[in-house]
Amino acid sequence: MQDNSTYKISSEVSSKINKWLLKFPDGKKKPAIIYALHLIQKENKYIKSIHVDALANFLNLKNIDVYEIAAFYSMFELEKIGKHTISVCTNVSCMLNGSDEILSYLESKLKIKVGRSSDKYFLKDERECLAACCGAPMMQVDHKYYENLTKEKIDKIITEIENE
């Protein structure tokens, strides 16, 4: 990660964005925003206003065009977060199969409240259905799915992360 006070889109990211732009008619830059934000977030862990400004400048768009997308989609983080992101689904199937208990257990095990972050973990706001209802209750850790959760299974997952 580079010093964000002088953020400039990296050559690797800019070259990927330019390649992506070739899919769209000349001058149509907005379709690249989501893709570019993913790349920038991957390099920087979360999206700061200087990233928004740099991307808007790179795409020759207004800052608000980029910011409204970064702020709207839940996959973009606008605040500093821990190394591992955990998202527990609390939609109907998961809720009926104990997601509230799973979430409480994670809060107490990781000593963070939902929506908050420690240096190591970010327990994301409760998620809508993550399309794994047959494995309810479930969660994502860094976008990897874990299903049929129990407290014991969570202990094992967290131990594996701790031993990485």
- Number of Cβ within a 10 Å radius of residue 119: 9
Check whether the bond before 25 is cis (ω within 30° of 0). Answer: no
Distance CA 24, CA 112 (A): 43
- Our finding on whether 157 is near ligand FES (CB under 6 A) is no
99 or 117: CB nearest ligand FES:
99
- Our finding on whether 136 is near ligand FES (CB under 6 A) is yes
Distance CA 141, CA 88 (A): 9
Question: What order do you get walking across the sheet with 139-141 strand by strand?
Answer: 121-123, 84-88, 139-141, 144-146
- Supply the minimum distance, in Å, between the C-beta of residue 96 and ligand FES: 8
- Our finding on whether 149 is near ligand FES (CB under 6 A) is no
- Our finding on whether 132 is near ligand FES (CB under 6 A) is yes
- Our finding on whether 141 is near ligand FES (CB under 6 A) is no
- Number of Cβ within a 10 Å radius of residue 111: 10
- Supply the minimum distance, in Å, between the C-beta of residue 152 and ligand FES: 20
- Supply the minimum distance, in Å, between the C-beta of residue 146 and ligand FES: 11
Helical pair 49-59 and 33-44, crossing angle rounded to 10 deg: 140
Report 41-100 residues binding ligand FES (CB under 6 A): 89, 91-94
Binds ligand FES (CB under 6 A): choice among 52, 138, 154, 158: 138
Task: With beta carbons less than 8 A apart as the criterion, state whether 121 and 86 touch.
Answer: yes
Residue 121 phi, psi (nearest 5) = -125, 145
Binds ligand FES (CB under 6 A): choice among 50, 61, 114, 133: 133
Count of chain residues binding ligand FES (CB under 6 A): 12
- Supply the minimum distance, in Å, between the C-beta of residue 92 and ligand FES: 5
Residues that bind ligand FES (CB under 6 A): 89, 91-94, 129-133, 136, 138
